[in-house]
Amino acid sequence: MTSPAFIRPSQLRQRGMLGMNRRNIDYIGRYNQRRLYPLVDDKLKTKLLAQEYGVPTPQLRFVVREQHEIHEYRARIQEMEQFVLKPAKGSGGKGILVVNGRDGENFVKSSGAVLTMADLERHMSNTLAGLYSLSGVPDVVIAEDLIAFDDGFAGYSYEGVPDIRIIVFRGYPVMAMLRLATHASDGKANLHQGAVGVGLGMDTGRCLFAVQDGQRCDSHPDTGKPLNTLQIDNWQELLVLASRCYEMTGLGYMGTDLVLDARQGPQLLELNARPGLAIQVANDRGLLPRLRKIEAMRERRQVSAQDRVAFAMEAFA
């Protein structure tokens, strides 16, 4: 099972793999207008926009905008059981603090680590100062409800919420993967931090292939649960939700991060105007053929999200 250290460019091309340079020039550069970036780079804007368009997102509790406001929210924080603090302009999952439960006055992270109120306040202070934001600009803290993750995922994720990344190209969902947190990824669902990426079939939402750290894996490394039986419920609903983000933002090439909440169903977590390429490894196939198929479509009339999803489920099965 040891794979060779390198793959030849011709082999990559044959598999239709999208490289970083081509993604930047031919897709992000061509289909994503710069002026639209703030809509997705600022999670608060995305959230408000989503509410406007009726796209479900986790309930917003409050927003801290200034250092001096931190103390004013102390009482609100004290009465919350489970919540998430995140920077509005964070990237790559940086600065997201998940509180899973309480231990008296203290707060318990998903990893089991215990934080004090002072720790939380320092985290918020750092966030406001721009520690986690792109290029260090001042930021705001968003406090929102924690996702109660679907029982269907029991045993598939370790210490964290599994999220579903769907690449949406010109409104069509083209590729999807489920990201499972592992012990190595510290409860975060980032592939380059050691999370497991599970490629999902576009027609059914069933597992196609799975990788961890760029290597194939067949079961969850922490729980040992086999991944090949995994299937996402409400698959079509999820795809429609992702597809509707196109009307919402106008971005032609984006990554949508969704979660399945046990009570509320599919929720939009965040959008990404520069989605990563690892999804291709998780799916064991390249994005290029699918992107080209959509680029080649001549249709000019407005196509509804439902129709786009129906097309994608058939074309990319």
Partner 1 sequence: MNSRTSFFTVVGALALAGVLIAALRHMETGAPLLPGAETEVWLVEARVDFRAQGGPVNVSLSLPEADAGYSAFNEQSASAGYGYAVVEQGDDRRAEWTRRQASGAQTLYFSAQFVAQPPEAVTPGQPSAPPRAVSVFWNDAQSTAAQNLLDRARQTSAGPRSLVRELVKSLNVQPLDQNAALLLGQAEDRAGLLVRLLNEEGIPAREVMGLYLRDARRRQPLASLVDVYLDDRWVLHNPVTGVPGMPADFLLWHRAGASLLDVAGGRNSRVSFSMLRQSVPVQQLAYTTNSDSAFARIGLHSLPIEEQSMFRMLLLLPLGAAVVVFMRVLVGVRTAGTFMPILISLAFLQTSLLPGLVSFVSVVAIGLMMRAYLSRLNLLLVARIATLIVLVIFVITALSVIGYQLGYSTGMVITFFPMIIIAWTIERMSILWEEEGAREVLIQGSGSLFVAIVAYLLMHHPLLEHLSFNFPELNLILLAAILAMGQYTGYKLTELYRFRALLDD
Question: What residues make contact with partner 1 under the rule CB under 8 A?
Answer: 1, 3-9, 11-13, 15, 17, 19-22, 25-26, 67, 94, 118, 122, 125-126, 129-132, 136, 192-193, 211, 214-216, 277, 280-281, 284
Q: What one-character-per-residue DSSP string does the chain give?
A: -PPPS---HHHHHHTTPPPHHHIIIIIIHHHS-GGGHHHHHSHHHHHHHHHHTT---PPEEEEE-SGGGGGGGHHHHHT-SSEEEEETTB-TTTT-EEEEEEETTEEEETTS-EE-HHHHHHHHHHHHHTSSBGGG----EEEEEPP-B-GGGTTT-SSS--EEEEEEETTEEEEEEEEE--TTTTT---GGGT-EEEEE-TTT-BEEEEEETTEE-SB-TTT--BSTT-B-TTHHHHHHHHHHHHHHH--SEEEEEEEEETTTEEEEEEEESS--SHHHHHHTS-SHHHHHHHHT----S---HHHHHHHHHHHT-
Q: How far is the CB of 37 from partner 1 (least distance, A)?
A: 18
Which of 103, 242, 249, 226 lies closest to 164 in space, CA to CA?
Answer: 242
Q: How far is the CB of 13 from partner 1 (least distance, A)?
A: 8
Query: At which residue do the structure tokens 């970083």 appear?
Result: 20
Q: How far is the CB of 279 from partner 1 (least distance, A)?
A: 12
Q: Which is nearer to partner 1, 218 or 314 (CB)?
A: 218
Q: How far is the CB of 215 from partner 1 (least distance, A)?
A: 6
Q: Which is nearer to partner 1, 171 or 199 (CB)?
A: 199
Token pair of 146 as six digits: 């924690």
Q: Which is nearer to partner 1, 130 or 155 (CB)?
A: 130
Q: Which is nearer to partner 1, 20 or 154 (CB)?
A: 20
Q: Which is nearer to partner 1, 124 or 260 (CB)?
A: 124
Query: At which residue do the structure tokens 């949406």 appear?
Result: 168
Q: How far is the CB of 252 from partner 1 (least distance, A)?
A: 17
Q: How far is the CB of 167 from partner 1 (least distance, A)?
A: 16
Q: Which is nearer to partner 1, 25 or 297 (CB)?
A: 25
Q: How far is the CB of 293 from partner 1 (least distance, A)?
A: 18
Q: Which is nearer to partner 1, 9 or 289 (CB)?
A: 9
